[in-house]
Amino acid sequence: MDDTVVIALFRHGLTEGNKRHAYLGWTDSPLCPDAKRKLGKPDARYSMLFSSNLGRCLETSRLLFPQLHPQLMSELREMHFGEWEGKVFEELKEDPHYQKWLSEPFTAKVPGGESFSDFALRVEMGWNEITRKIKEKKIATAAVMTHGGVIRYLLSKFSPEKKDYWDWKIDHGAGYELVWEEDKWRRGERCTLLQAAPIMEKQNGSGSNTG
């Protein structure tokens, strides 16, 4: 489409940690062998690829976009879960800090990790860098390989339909395309169209809401 900007947000493939429903922020976990086999191929061409610098995103990027060299960005990492990294609900449910965070996820800070405002500021910085590079290269299509929390935040900010952060469902190995009229994109407005990223059919796995 002429005079449009398309940015696709992809979530990495299902990992062993995701299968356990563990909190995976900056702690890495390998992709499940079955998940790797089930990853589809994007049925679209993107001019640039930006990726979280964590291994699960790099592994997924190599599988989905072997023709593109990803630009690595630490700003695209998942929220840092500090002392809770790699742990599951059963291990944390008696922790008063965890109970407080569950009741106040947007204000309570994870011990040794990030608050939601820390996380949001970091993601905003990454998004600003992505938009700067897209403008600099004068391209119209780009893909971003990242994590569930990052995608939820960006959709809550830029989707044409206003939905709460937790209302977005992000499957592993899948994604969304955000389409802007170029002038609206340059002004930082909500996108004009949101659609599932076109992926050639394969069965995608889904897992926990973290990572």
Active site residues per annotation? 12, 78
State how beta strands 4-11 and 71-73 pair: unpaired
CA distances from 171 to 35, 145, 149, 182 (A): 12, 13, 12, 28
CA distances from 194 to 6, 132, 186, 205 (A): 10, 21, 17, 22
Dihedral sign, CA of 41, 42, 44, 48?
negative
Was 16 annotated as part of a binding site? yes
Was 55 annotated as part of a binding site? no
Q: How far apart are CA 209 and CA 114, in angstroms?
A: 17
Was 207 annotated as part of a binding site? no
Query: Each residue of 76-97: b (16+ CB within 10 Å) or e?
Result: bbbbbbbebbebeeeebeeeee
Was 15 annotated as part of a binding site? yes
Q: How far apart are CA 169 and CA 4, in angstroms?
A: 26
Q: Which two tokens stand for residue 139?
A: 């391209």
Was 25 annotated as part of a binding site? no
Was 56 annotated as part of a binding site? yes
Was 14 annotated as part of a binding site? yes
Binding residues for substrate: 11-18, 56
Binding residues: 11-18, 56
